[in-house]
Amino acid sequence: MIDSLSPDTLRTRFDASQFDFDTTEDLPADTQVVGQNRAVDALEFGMNIEGDGYNVFALGPSGTGRRELVQHLLEEQAADEKTPPDWCYVNNFDEEREPTVIQLPAGRGCDLKEDVDDLIEELKTALPAAFESEEYQSRREMIQEEVREGEEAALEDLQERAREDDIALIRTPQGFAFAPIRDGEVVAPDEVESMPDEERETVQERISEYQDELQEILRKVPGNEREARDRIEELNREMAAYAIDDFINALRRKYSNLDAVLDFLAAVRADLIENVDVFVQAAQDGGQQRQMLPVMQQQGQQGGGGERPALDGAFWRRYQVNLIVDNRDTDGAPVVFEDNPNYQNLVGQVEQIAQMGALVTDFNLIQPGALHAANGGYLILEARKLLTQPYAWEGLKRALRNDEIRIESPGQALGLMRTVTLEPEAIPLDVKIVLVGERMLYYLLDALDPDMDRLFKVMADFEEQIDRDDEHEEKYADLIATMIADEDLRPFDCSAIAHVMEQSTRLVSDTEKLSGHVEHIRDLAQEASYWAGQDDADTVTDVHVQRAIDAQVRRADRMRDRIQESIERETIYIDTGGEAVGQINGLSYLDVGGFSFGKPNRITARVRLGKGEIVDIEREAALGGPLHSKGVLILSGFLQGRYAQRRPLSLSASLVFEQSYGGIDGDSASSAELYALLSALADVPLRQNFAVTGSVNQHGVVQPIGGVNEKIEGFFDVCQERGLTGDQGVLIPASNTEHLMLRPDVVEAAEAGDFHVYPVETVDQGIELLTGIEAGERNEQGAFPDDTMNGMVEARLRAFADRRRQFALTDGQAESAEA
C-alpha cells in the first residue's frame, strides 16, 4: 500500500528570503524578456542578416509579450541604424496619370515641400502681377499696334493711290468696294453708262487691279494676326520666365546636389511657362478668377487636353509636393507597428474626392501606407489581423517579392477594375517585416503558402514556459519590477514577488517552469496593486497577491459554483464516503473562458457474458472524443493482455460517465474506468472517499495527465463542503507529482492530515488503495492467488469463458442466450 505525498510536495514554495531585495523599488527594472533565448537569437539573426526574404515570423501563444518584445528589440537595434530617406510624390507634367517620385535625404523632404509651397505663394502674386504690369501691357499693345498699323498703312496707301486715279474705296456692310469718283462724289450710274467704252474699260480694269491688290492685303490679315499672336506668346513666355526665374534659381542653388529636385524644378518652370496663358487671362480678368474655388478641379484627367486650366487653387495644386515619407524627426531607422494592416494601410492608396458627381484624384491625394513609413527600417504586423484583411497578405507579399511599393487599389491589383486613377511611380522597398502570430498560423501558412519559405525565412519561436533556475528567477523578479514600473504600480515586496512566481508556476502547472505568459502576470500585478490600494498599503504583499488570485477566481467561477452546488444538493450524484461495486469518482477538467477547474464525475461499469467487447457508451452516443475512445481501447488491451492469454475474453462490459450531458474527451479517466471495471469483474466494492485521475497504458502503467491541480482541488472542494473525514484523497499519476501547485487551503488540509494525495505508478497500486485488497502477482504456475484482486478478476473471466463455451456446444440455446 503506497503512502500519500507529504504536504510540502503539494505546493512548491518560493522562499522570499532568497531574493536579495526588499521591494521592487530596489530592482533595476530593465528586463523585457526572460528565458526566450531561442526567439531572441532568431530575432537578432533576422534583423542583422542582409538578403532578400530574411523576414521574421515571431510565433508563439498570444500573451507572451511577443509584440512588445519584438518592438523593444527592434527599436534598440534601429536606433543605431541609418535614417532612411524622405520620399515625395510630385506631378509628372508629361503624364499626369503617373506621378513621379523623388527621393531626398532625411529631413529635406519637408524643406522641399515648404519651399515649394512658398514658391507657389510667391508666384501667385508675382506672375499675375507681371502680366498686369504697365510694361507688359504696353509691349503687348505695341505688337498689336504694329501689325494693325501695317495693315492700315497698306489700306491707306491703296486708298491714296486709288484716289489719284479717281477711284474711291468704300466700306460696305460686308466688306469693301471700289467706285469711280468725280469731285469727291461717286459717279452716278447713268454717267458711267454714257462713258465712252474705252474710258469705261480703263476704269473697270483699274478697279479690277485695285480689287486684286485689296484682296491680297485682306488675305494677309489672318497671317499677320497669327504672327502677332506668336509674338505675344513669345512675350508672355519671356515675361513669365522673368517673373519665375529668380525664385526657381534660388531653389536650384539650395538643392543643387539633388538631381531629381533640379529636374522637378525645371519641369515646374517649363510647365508654368507653357501655361502662361492662364496668368495672362487672369490679369485681363482683373484678378477675379484668382478667388479660389473650393472644389478641386483636376487637370488632365477630365475635360480633355485642349482646355485651359483655370487659375484657381486647383491650378496651383499641380506644382505642390506631396511629402509621403517624412523622416525629419526619425532617429535611426523607423520601427512601425501597423495596428490595422488592411491593404490600403499597408501599401498606401490614392484617395479620390467627389466633384460634381464624379470621382477625381491627383497626386496630392496619394496617401502613404505602413510600408512607406517603415521603408528602410522595420515593420511589425500581427499575422491574424493581416490574414483577416482581404488581399492584405497578397499585397504585402507582392511588395516584398518585387522589392517595391506600388500603390494600386485592390481592384486594380487584381485586374477587376480599370477606373481612371493614378499609377504612381513605384518606390524601392527595403524593409524587414516581423510578423507576430500564433504557432498555428505559422504552420498553416508554411504548409499552404509556397511563398512563405522565400519571404519569411526566420522563425522566432516564443516559449510559453520558462525554465526555472536561479538566474531566470532573478530576471523574472526584475521582469515583474519592469511591469510595475511601466504600469506605475505600487512596489511589490519580496513575499509578493514570490507569490506571483508561485502563481506563475501554477499557471503552467509545472513546478520546474515559470509562465511565459507575461500578460497574465501583468494582470495579476495590476490587480494586486489595486487590492493593496484598497488596503491603503504602500507596498504590495503576498496577501494582496493571493487576494487578487482569489478575486480572479471568484469573478470567473460561477460555473464551478453551480456544479459544486448541484453536487452538494445531490442533483449530481457524487459519493465521498462508503463503498460501491463498479463505481468510482473520476475527475474531469473544464476550461471556461480562460478559467479552468476540475470536477468529480461518477464513472460506472457493468459486466456480463459476452464476446469480448467493452462498450464505451460515450462513444456510442457520439459524446466521446477520439482520445477517450482510445483510452477505452487501451484499457481493453490491458484486460486481454493480462487476463485473457489462454482463453477468449468472454465479457461484455459497458462504461459510462454518469450524468454527463456534454461531450467528453481525453484519456485521463482511463485508469478510473479500469478500476471500475475491475471492481465490477471481481465484484469487490471500491472506496468512494477517493477520486482518481490518470491514464493507463496496455501494461497497466499509470501515465501523467493535464490539469492535475484543478482536478485535485475539484474533489477537495466537494469533500470540504461536506466536511473532511480525514480519509479522503485523490489518486494521481506519480509522474504528475512535480506538477503539483495546489491551493494553500488544500495544502493546509493535507498538513492537518485531513486530505491526501497518492502518487500511483501502476494500476495494481491503485486498486490496492481503492479496495484494500492486495492486487496479487502471478505465482510459479502462472496463476494469480485466489484472494487477490487479480485472482478474483481472472476467476470471473474464466467463468465467463466457460459459460460461453457451453453455450456454443448447445447451439440453439447459445443463440437464444446471446440474443
Partner 1 sequence: MSEADPSLQRILVALDASPHSQAALDAAVRLATDLGAEVEGLFVEDETLLRAAQLPFAEEVRASTTSPKALTDRRMQRQLRYQAEYAEQTLRRAGERAEVTVEFDVVQGNVTRELLNAATEVDLLVLGKTSTDSSRRQLGTTSRTVLTDAPAPVLVLREVVPPQQPVLVYYDGCPAAKTALEVAARLSRRGEARPIRVLLPASDDATTERLRDEVQSYVGDPEMPVSMHVLTRAESRRLSAFARREGGLVILPDDCVPLSQVPLRQFLYEIDRPLLVMR
Shortest gap between Cβ of 144 and partner 1 (angstroms)? 9
Establish if 512 lies at the interface with partner 1 (CB under 8 A): no
Compare residues 180 and 766 and give the one whose CB is closer to partner 1.
180
Q: Rank residues 152 and 591 by Cβ distance to partner 1 and give the closer one.
A: 152
Least separation, in Å, of the C-beta of 277 and partner 1?
21
How many CA atoms does the CB half-sphere of 699 hold within 13 Å? Answer: 3
Q: Smaller CB distance to partner 1: residue 147 or 459?
A: 147
Q: Give me 355's grid cell.
A: 466633384
Instruction: Between 179 and 633, name the residue whose CB sits nearer to partner 1.
Output: 179
Phi, psi (degrees; rounded to nearest 5) at 99: -55, 150
Other Cβ atoms less than 10 A from the Cβ of 773: the count is: 16
- Shortest distance (Å) from residue 290 CB to partner 1: 20
CA–CA dist 686, 674 (Å, integer): 12
Active site residue 513: no
Distant-in-sequence, close-in-space partners of 745: CB < 8 Å, separation ≥ 6? 720
Query: Of 100-108, 149-157, 448-456, 556-564, which part binds partner 1 (CB under 8 A)?
Result: 149-157
In the complex, what is the shortest distance from the CB of residue 209 to partner 1, in angstroms, rounded to a whole number? 12
Query: What is the Cα–Cα distance from 596 to 598, expressed in whole angstroms?
Result: 7
Residue 156 beta carbon to partner 1: minimum distance, rounded to whole angstroms: 5
Give the residue with the Cβ less far from partner 1, 135 or 156: 156
Q: Which is nearer to partner 1, 204 or 779 (CB)?
A: 204
Binding region for partner 1 (CB under 8 A) out of 84-92, 210-218, 244-252, 326-334: 210-218
- Rounded to 10°, the helix 763-771/789-809 angle is 100
User: How would you write 105-174 as a 3-class SS string?
Assistant: CCCHHHHHHHHHHHHHHHHHHHHHHHHHCHHHHHHHHHHHHHHHHHHHHHHHHHHHHHHHCCEEEEEECC
Q: How many Cβ atoms are within 10 Å of 383's Cβ, its own excluded?
A: 22
Radius of gyration in angstroms for the set of CA atoms belonging to the chain, rounded to a whole number: 48
Kindly state whether residue 142 participates in binding partner 1, applying the rule CB under 8 A.
no
> Cα separation of 272 and 243, whole Å?
11
CA distance 607 to 527: 53
156 near partner 1, rule: CB under 8 A? yes
**Judged by CB under 8 A, which stretch of 10-18, 209-217, 736-744, 787-795 contacts partner 1?**
209-217
420: contact with partner 1 by CB under 8 A: no
> Site for partner 1 (CB under 8 A): which residue of 204, 340, 534, 806?
204
Whole-angstrom Cα distance, residue 48 to residue 56?
11
Segment contacting partner 1 (CB under 8 A): 152-160, 446-454, 683-691, 757-765?
A: 152-160
DSSP SS3 for 2: coil
Interface segment toward partner 1; rule CB under 8 A; list 211-219, 414-422, 429-437, 560-568: 211-219
Q: Please say whether the beta carbons of 509 and 502 come within 8 A.
A: no
Which of 638, 689, 701, 635 minimizes the C-alpha distance to 667?
635
Dihedral sign of CA atoms 640, 644, 648, 652 in order: negative
State yes or no: residue 218 binds partner 1 (CB under 8 A). Answer: yes
Kindly determine how many residues on this chain lie close enough to bind partner 1 according to the rule CB under 8 A. Answer: 33
Q: Is 711 an annotated catalytic residue?
A: yes
Q: Which is nearer to partner 1, 126 or 155 (CB)?
A: 155
Torsion of CA 800, 802, 804, 806, to 10 degrees: -150
In the complex with partner 1, the residue whose CB is nearer, 202 or 552, is 202
State the residue for C-alpha cell 470536477. 599
Q: C-alpha distances in angstroms, 792 versus 153, 267, 333, 578?
A: 143, 103, 77, 21
**Which residue, 200 or 472, has its beta carbon nearer to partner 1?**
200
Q: Considering only residues 291 through 330, tell me which ones interact with partner 1, judged by CB under 8 A.
A: none
Catalytic-role residue among 113, 432, 513, 711:
711
- Amino acid, res. 381: L
Amino acid residing at 798: R
Say whether residue 193 binds partner 1 (CB under 8 A). yes
The reply on whether position 207 binds partner 1 by CB under 8 A is yes
**Closer residue to partner 1 (CB): 174 or 291:** 174
Contact status: 137 vs partner 1 (CB under 8 A)? no
Site for partner 1 in 437-496 (CB under 8 A): none
Q: Measured from the CB of residue 280, what is the shortest distance to partner 1 in angstroms?
A: 20
SS3 458: strand
Asked if 782 interacts with partner 1 (CB under 8 A), we say no
Q: Which is nearer to partner 1, 218 or 426 (CB)?
A: 218
Cα torsion through 168, 169, 173, 174, rounded to 10 = 140
Beta carbon of residue 205, minimum distance to partner 1 (angstroms, whole number): 10
CB 143, min distance to partner 1, A: 13
Q: Is 152 in the site for partner 1 (CB under 8 A)?
A: yes
All cell numbers assigned to 163: 484716289
- The verdict on 215 binding partner 1 (CB under 8 A) reads yes
288 binds partner 1 per the rule CB under 8 A: no
- Show Cβ contacts of residue 652 under 8 Å, excluding neighbours closer than 6 positions: 607, 608, 609, 610, 611, 612, 613, 614, 615
Q: Which stretch binds partner 1 (CB under 8 A): 218-226, 229-237, 389-397, 558-566?
A: 218-226
Minimum distance from residue 141 beta carbon to partner 1 (Å) = 11
Q: Which residue do the cell numbers 543643387 mark?
A: 256
The answer for 719, left when phi > 0, alpha when psi is -120 to 50, beta otherwise, is: alpha
Q: Which long-range contacts (CB under 8 A, 24 or more apart) does 266-271 make?
A: 267/91, 267/93, 268/93, 268/116, 268/319, 269/241, 269/244, 269/245, 270/93, 271/91, 271/93, 271/318, 271/319
| 570 contacts partner 1 (rule: CB under 8 A) | no
* Three cell numbers, residue 6: 507529504
Question: Cell triple for residue 41?
Answer: 537569437
Show the binding pattern over residues 162-191: x = contacts partner 1 (CB under 8 A), - = does not. Answer: ------x-xxxxxxxxxxx----xxxxx--
Window contacting partner 1 (CB under 8 A); options: 89-97, 109-117, 216-224, 688-696: 216-224
Identified catalytic residue from 636, 668, 670, 695: 668
Smallest distance, Å, CB 189 to partner 1?
Answer: 4
Shortest CB 245 distance to partner 1, Å:
31
Q: Which of 49, 221, 353, 621 binds partner 1 (CB under 8 A)?
A: 221
Cβ atoms of 482 and 32 within 8 Å: the answer is yes
Minimum distance of partner 1 from residue 221's CB (angstroms) = 6
Task: Select 192 or 617, whichever has its Cβ closest to partner 1.
Answer: 192
Greatest pairwise CA separation for the chain in angstroms: 171
151 binds partner 1 (CB under 8 A): yes
Q: Is 593 in the site for partner 1 (CB under 8 A)?
A: no
| Contact footprint for partner 1 (CB under 8 A) | 148, 151-152, 155-156, 159, 168, 170-180, 185-189, 192-193, 204, 207, 211, 214-215, 218-219, 221
Residues forming the active site: 668, 711
